[in-house]
Amino acid sequence: MGQSKNPRRAADNEAIAISSMLRTSPQKLNLVAQMIRNKPVDKALVDLTFSKKRIAADVKKCLQSAIANAENNHGLDVDELVVAEAYVGKTMVMKRGRPRARGRFGKILKPFSQVTILVRQVGAVEEQA
């Protein structure tokens, strides 16, 4: 008599990982997410490892989590995984400020964001096409 089970957000050949509360703006995080979209996971991990962006380490951690979810929870082959989707969202903004001249207040906004990575297993036939 409890609640009905929620349907899966991903297909049977997909796994998902979400990393939230990353202390960077969504615009900067999206630059890193664009680097890994539609790439095989091993190539994406190499790109994130040698990226000079500070937030690339957190995105790499999220990608490794998605790979582990695919392998352990869904039984997918790690060698055939591709980053199907990597999208960025805005979570919250910390508002800080500094006193300015003539009694005014200078706003300082410190944004947080989240990244969602979806990996998909593609067969050898689909990869060549």
Class of domain 14-121: alpha beta
pTM above 0.95, yes or no: no
Q: What angle do CA 2, 20, 110 make, to 5 degrees?
A: 135
Is it the case that residue 11 has pLDDT exceeding 60?
yes
CB 84, CB 90: distance < 8 Å: no
The closest alpha carbon to 111, from 98, 97, 94, belongs to 94
1: pLDDT confidence band, cut at 50, 70 and 90?
low
Domain ranges of the chain: 14-121
Check pLDDT > 70 for residue 123: yes
Looking at the chain, the whole-number percentage of residues with pLDDT higher than 70 is 95
- Three-state DSSP at 29 gives helix
pLDDT digits (tens, 9 = 90+) for 39-79: 999 999 999 999 999 999 999 999 999 999 999 999 999 99
pLDDT at 128 over 70: no
